[in-house]
């Protein structure tokens, strides 16, 4: 298994280009199942979760044509399968995103029930309840969700919690339902708006995506579309923290500053400075870092997907910081590894108290999930000496060439095969 070795303490400088958003690419790729014509998507990030979803679409019978320059052509006109098997779903929970499109287009879907997850329970009850309201008959047996419907019918759905993939699944299913569907208390993440833009280009009639109430007028069928995926706001945020923990100045290219407001506000509070120009942000972190508090919550509040990375920054800030994690039950797995690098962190329930230390020291550490891996890379960049991170397959799920991008900024980082 690959590892990443970092010799910490190097300043970063230069420019880094942000890739397309993994969390927008995944639902957009599955949306191609709704179309009778070819779809063509660009700015697709080259990460393992994308490979997994393309594999899944190809298994279902879609024609997948991976092109150069991070583009893909997908033709679902001959799809005949309706099953997402356990082997794929267990490696990527977002495989559940085929459930809505398969059911809406073919009236049948059999998708392995995602199991437990390192960061929390992550049930899919809200996806299933919403589809039932749209008229689907859903049974669970042998670890699979078996969903059937002759024709989905528009309805009113109130989500108990604003779930991101749940909103996406239901929005996709409702595109081909008869009549109007109104979904309330929807998640407002920008990736949902990106998905709605693609669906509308394919002929869907969706209003309100990106707010907490989405209206969908069902249509008979969807055609193909060409679309470029939005930039990855979590990757951009991760590079901002990389500049912050190394006391550096870097330029982040091809990002969307509007999606990063909360993250940048918190970094400003910590002493980081920004200069924005269109899709470029210059990050300067030449002052000492100050302690800050964060509470994760659905967009536009502070993203849970940036919590672990901020914990590395807080470990080196002057004073005591606090993190309250409200989205997932068990998202502090990185803490024990950070403590092994010299961080002073105490956890009580969903709250972590981080007393800033003057330095972290390199150590062998183990990645436990995607964003936890990123926090260890960031801690390694700032630490004195060598950090060896194992189980980096977690990192490869969501960061495109992270070690190459960091090395081009001057970090001493290497992948060991």
Please tell me whether residue 121 binds ligand UD1 under the rule CB under 6 A: yes
99 vs 379, beta carbon nearer ligand UD1: 99
- 307 Cβ partners below 8 Å, 6+ apart? 294, 296, 323, 325, 331, 371
Q: Looking at 117, 155, 213, 256, which residue is catalytic?
A: 117
CA 32 to chain CA centroid, Å, is 19
Please tell me whether residue 133 binds ligand UD1 under the rule CB under 6 A: no
156-158 and 180-184 strand pairing? parallel
Stretch that binds ligand UD1, among 5-13, 76-84, 159-167, 252-260 (CB under 6 A): 159-167
Please tell me whether residue 166 binds ligand UD1 under the rule CB under 6 A: yes
Binding residue for ligand UD1 (CB under 6 A) from 60, 147, 164, 377?
A: 164
Stretch that binds ligand UD1, among 162-170, 207-215, 263-271, 312-320 (CB under 6 A): 162-170
Token pair for 53: 């979803």
Please tell me whether residue 210 binds ligand UD1 under the rule CB under 6 A: no
Please tell me whether residue 124 binds ligand UD1 under the rule CB under 6 A: yes
Query: What's the number of CA atoms in the CB half-sphere (13 Å) around residue 385?
Result: 9
Q: Which residues pair with residue 144 across a beta bridge? A: 112, 141
Which is nearest to 100 in space by CA: 204, 27, 39?
A: 27
Closest distance of CB 122 from ligand UD1, Å? 5
Q: Give yes or no: 175 in active site.
A: no
Binding-site string for ligand UD1 from residue 295 to residue 334, where x marks contact by CB under 6 A and - marks none: ---------xx---------------------xx------
Token pair for 412: 């001493």
Task: Decide: 82 and 292 in contact? Cβ < 8 Å.
Answer: no
Q: Which helix (H) or strand (E) holds 280?
A: strand 280-284
Stretch that binds ligand UD1, among 35-43, 120-128, 222-230, 248-256 (CB under 6 A): 120-128
- For helices 190-201 and 164-175, the axis angle rounded to 10 degrees is 10
161 vs 404, beta carbon nearer ligand UD1: 161
Alpha-carbon distances, residue 75 vs 29, 35, 63, 218, 221 (angstroms): 11, 8, 5, 22, 15
Closest distance of CB 331 from ligand UD1, Å? 8
Alpha-carbon distances, residue 241 vs 93, 184, 325, 352, 359 (angstroms): 27, 34, 19, 19, 16
Binding-site string for ligand UD1 from residue 7 to residue 36, where x marks contact by CB under 6 A and - marks none: ----------------x--x----------
Query: What's the number of CA atoms in the CB half-sphere (13 Å) around residue 307?
Result: 29
Closest distance of CB 128 from ligand UD1, Å? 7
Does residue 144 sit in helix, strand or coil? strand
Residues 188 and 181: their CA atoms lie apart, in Å, by 17
Stretch that binds ligand UD1, among 54-62, 125-133, 251-259, 272-280 (CB under 6 A): 125-133
Using the structure block, give the residue that is written with the tokens 């490979």: 51
Binding-site string for ligand UD1 from residue 74 to residue 113, where x marks contact by CB under 6 A and - marks none: --------------------x-------------------
Closest distance of CB 233 from ligand UD1, Å? 11
Token pair for 6: 């970092």
Please tell me whether residue 187 binds ligand UD1 under the rule CB under 6 A: yes
Residues with catalytic annotation?
117
The residue ranges that bind ligand UD1 (CB under 6 A) are 23, 26, 94, 120-127, 161, 163-166, 187, 304-305, 327-328
């Amino acid at each position: 298994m690959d590892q990443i070795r970092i010799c910490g303490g190097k300043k970063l400088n230069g420019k880094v280009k942000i890739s397309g958003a993994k969390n927008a690419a995944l639902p957009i790729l599955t949306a191609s199942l709704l179309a009778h014509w070819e779809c063509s998507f660009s700015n697709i990030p080259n990460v393992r979760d994308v490979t997994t979803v393309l594999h899944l679409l190809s298994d279902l019978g879609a024609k997948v044509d991976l092109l150069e320059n991070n583009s893909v052509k997908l033709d679902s006109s001959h799809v005949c399968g309706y099953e997402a098997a356990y082997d794929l779903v267990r490696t990527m929970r977002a495989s559940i995103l085929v459930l809505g499109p398969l059911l809406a287009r073919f009236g049948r879907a059999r998708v392995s029930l995602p199991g437990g997850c390192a960061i929390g329970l992550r049930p899919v009850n809200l996806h299933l309840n919403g589809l039932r309201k749209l008229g689907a008959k859903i049974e669970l047996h042998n670890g699979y969700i078996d969903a059937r419907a002759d024709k989905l019918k528009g309805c009113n759905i109130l989500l108990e919690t604003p779930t991101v993939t749940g909103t996406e699944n239901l929005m996709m299913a409702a595109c081909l339902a008869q009549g109007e569907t109104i979904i309330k208390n929807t998640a407002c993440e920008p990736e949902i708006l990106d998905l709605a833009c693609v669906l509308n280009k394919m002929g869907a009639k969706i209003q309100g995506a990106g707010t907490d109430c989405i209206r969908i007028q069902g249509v008979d069928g969807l055609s193909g579309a060409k679309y470029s995926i939005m930039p990855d706001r979590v990757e951009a945020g991760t590079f901002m923290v990389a500049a912050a923990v190394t006391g550096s100045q870097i330029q982040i290219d091809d990002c969307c500053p509007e999606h990063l407001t909360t993250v940048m506000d918190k970094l400003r509070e910590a002493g980081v400075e920004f200069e924005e120009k269109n899709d470029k942000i210059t990050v300067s972190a030449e002052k000492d870092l100050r302690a800050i508090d964060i509470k994760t919550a659905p967009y536009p509040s502070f993203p849970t997907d940036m919590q672990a990375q901020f914990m590395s920054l807080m470990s080196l800030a002057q004073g005591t910081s606090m993190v309250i994690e409200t989205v997932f039950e068990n998202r502090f797995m990185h803490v024990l590894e950070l403590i092994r690098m010299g961080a002073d962190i105490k956890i009580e329930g969903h709250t972590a108290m981080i007393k800033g230390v003057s330095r972290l020291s390199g150590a062998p550490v183990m990645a436990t999930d995607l964003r936890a891996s990123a926090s260890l890379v960031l801690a390694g960049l700032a630490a004195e000496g060598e950090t060896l991170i194992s189980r980096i397959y977690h990192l490869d799920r969501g960061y495109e060439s992270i070690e190459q991008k960091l090395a081009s900024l001057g970090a001493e980082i290497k992948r060991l095969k």
